[in-house]
Amino acid sequence: MKPAIIGITMGDPSGVGAEIIVNSYSNDTSFLNCSLLVIGNSDRLYDAAKILKKNIKINKCTSIEDIIPDNKNLINCMNVGEIPKNLPYGKNSIIGGESAYQYIKTACNLALNNKINAICTAPISKKALHMAGHKYPGHTELLAKLTNTNEVSLMLATPKLNVIHVTTHMGLIDAINNIEPNLVFRTIERGRNILYKSLGKEPRIGVCAINPHAGEEGIFGYGEEEIKIKPAIKKALSLKWNIKGPLAADTLFFLAARGNFDLVVAMYHDQGHGPVKVMGIENGVNVTVGLPIIRTSVGHGTAFDIAGKGIADDRNLVQALNKASEYLVK
């Protein structure tokens, strides 16, 4: 039986994607029990290896059949398009945005046609993506479009805690306006389902409030907890799910970090991202929940300020690959 294949998209070629990919191959990735295929640009990988002073071999693949199942000694790479060899690191460009888009599009097509079994994405620049004419707020929305998925959720997964978001890439005022009971319930449901599959039992779910102190019984806010959140929790409780809330976010994350919850439902981007990154960004893996394919990602950005300097940390990518492999065996 052939091992499952995880496709790694290289991200924006002006970012740290190539460097963290090359560095990750220096780690012991044999535990993955999967073959890895980089979807990107082999010249950029060679350049990253030169910067990192790594001696690597690259197997250029034109199809899945060309993959050599060896994650330790060589990198399987499917070249998509071309980029100038002198494309600078650390700068947004149309070329960088278009390249990143094409890598993701190719990976999605491969996954939807069962050529690869999961996708793990290196970081992209939203500005470069927009410069290239692809007006998506980020990976999450782009992947939903490419897979014809109406609605997905962004979940940050760490060894201690999982945080799923009701809203993500929008301004705070827009986020509050977009939160409504049906959306809250669908987000809870997506998080519950993926963790039930992973844990083999009902996950302990905590739901964040919107206002400080969960509204303090109507003192803070305009009844958002009562109107927008509680009906969704009531519906989840009717299904016998193990759920509590809405709870003040600071209290909930304190309890979750202590081990009292398996899943936190955050109402907006920074409510969920902040605590996870404080707990250790190298352990925070981005998972897109609700897609017809498995997709994990690093929890950090392109790091343009250090790109091309050989100092980018690859641990988060290794965690993302590990998480993808975990979902494949469940």
Q: Are 107 and 15 in contact (CB under 8 A)?
A: no
3-state secondary structure at position 78: strand
- Candidates 3.20.20.70, 3.90.1580.10, 3.40.718.10, 3.40.630.180; CATH matching 1-149+297-330: 3.40.718.10
pTM: 0.89
Delimit the domains of the chain by residue range: 1-149+297-330, 151-290
User: At the topology level of CATH, where does 151-290 sit?
Assistant: Isopropylmalate Dehydrogenase (3.40.718)
How many Cα atoms sit within 13 Å of 294 on the Cβ side? 24
Phi and psi at residue 86, to the nearest 5°: -100, 15
3-state secondary structure at position 229: helix
Q: Do domains 1-149+297-330 and 151-290 have the same CATH topology?
A: yes
Reading phi first (left if > 0) and then psi (alpha if -120 to 50, else beta), residue 34 is in beta
Going residue by residue through the chain, which has 330 residues, state the pLDDT in tens, using 9 for 90 and above: 678 999 999 999 999 999 999 998 876 565 567 889 999 999 999 999 999 999 889 999 999 999 998 767 789 999 999 999 899 999 999 999 999 999 999 999 999 999 999 999 999 999 999 999 999 988 889 999 999 999 999 999 988 889 999 999 899 999 999 999 999 999 999 999 999 988 899 999 999 999 999 878 888 888 899 999 999 999 999 999 999 999 999 999 999 999 999 999 999 999 999 888 887 656 678 999 999 999 999 988 899 999 999 999 898 899 899 889 888 866
Angle, to 10 degrees, between the axis of helix 315-329 and the axis of helix 17-24? 70
